[in-house]
A and B are shown apart, each in its own frame.
Chain A
Amino acid sequence: DGGITQSPKYLFRKEGQNVTLSCEQNLNHDAMYWYRQDPGQGLRLIYYSQIVNDFQKGDIAEGYSVSREKKESFPLTVTSAQKNPTAFYLCASSIDLSRQGVSYEQYFGPGTRLTVT
């Protein structure tokens, strides 16, 4: 079964602790994305990556960090510098859009709900 897995589904942390969210895909997609979802605010882009060892900040990157050491994996670290880390985090991937005639579709994982108290 091809798809995106995110683990864990629920994560609880104390304030001041860094936490890393896992995202793995076996779709052979080049591009990967991290979004944050808050009630009434839609999805907002945190970081994205076009290729291994390359990533760019999205609209709300402050307090987050990522790495892309393998094509299949794009972990997100929520640092203690993130002021309001409690949210639903979604990972997505897409085909390399520089190829001719490909779909722009982004495929989403099931999400991780992070609660920080």
Chain B
Amino acid sequence: QQQVKQSPQSLIVQKGGISIINCAYENTAFDYFPWYQQFPGKGPALLIAIRPDVSEKKEGRFTISFNKSAKQFSLHIMDSQPGDSATYFCAASFYSGGATNKLIFGTGTLLAVQP
């Protein structure tokens, strides 16, 4: 019930196209859903995050769509660029008190944007 399932494992998109990565979860107590971007040999960096009280959040070319009833959320990258080529991780957590939250990560999607 603590798992976050991410698909696809890898994705090839043409420059200017839309990249879509999907995640599904079981634990309805999750209340925070971030997406992280990681370049080779670097640590992940937060890209965008959403709470379950909204169905969509947009920041520039990046949009999270959230479907609470289906327990799914997805990342859409509009006008994909070669510089977006990276590994993307979805994650989920719920806050149960204290100073910390435990992020449960998906297995990652390797995105390659072809010029």
Contact = CB atoms under 8 A, between A and B. Distances in A.
B32 interface: yes
Given A40-B107, A42-B108, A106-B103, A97 B95 contact: yes
Interface of B is mostly: loop
Given A42-B106, A43-B89, A97-B95, A104 B43 contact: no
Interface string A63-107: 000000000000000000000000000101010111000001111
Nearest to A42: B105
A51 B100 CA distance: 10
Interface string B86-115: 000100010101111111011110000000
- Place the interface of chain B in its size category: 20 to 34
B99 A58 contact: no
A97 B107 contact: no
A49 B44 CA distance: 20
A97 B101 contact: yes
Contacts of A114: none
B42 interface: yes
Contacts of B34: 104-105
B13 to A, nearest CB: 21
B89 to A, nearest CB: 6
Contacts of B46: 105-107
Contact of B44 (A96, A98, A108): A108
Contacts of A110: 41-43
B42 A98 contact: no
B102 A109 contact: no
Nearest to B100: A31
Nearest to A56: B100
Nearest to A96: B99
Given A40-B107, A40-B108, A109 B99 contact: no
Contacts of A30: 99
Contacts of A43: 44, 89, 103, 105
7 contacts: A31-B99, A41-B107, A42-B89, A43-B105, A44-B105, A90-B43, A110-B42
Interface of A: 4, 6, 30-31, 33, 40-45, 48-51, 58, 90, 92, 94, 96-98, 104-111, 113
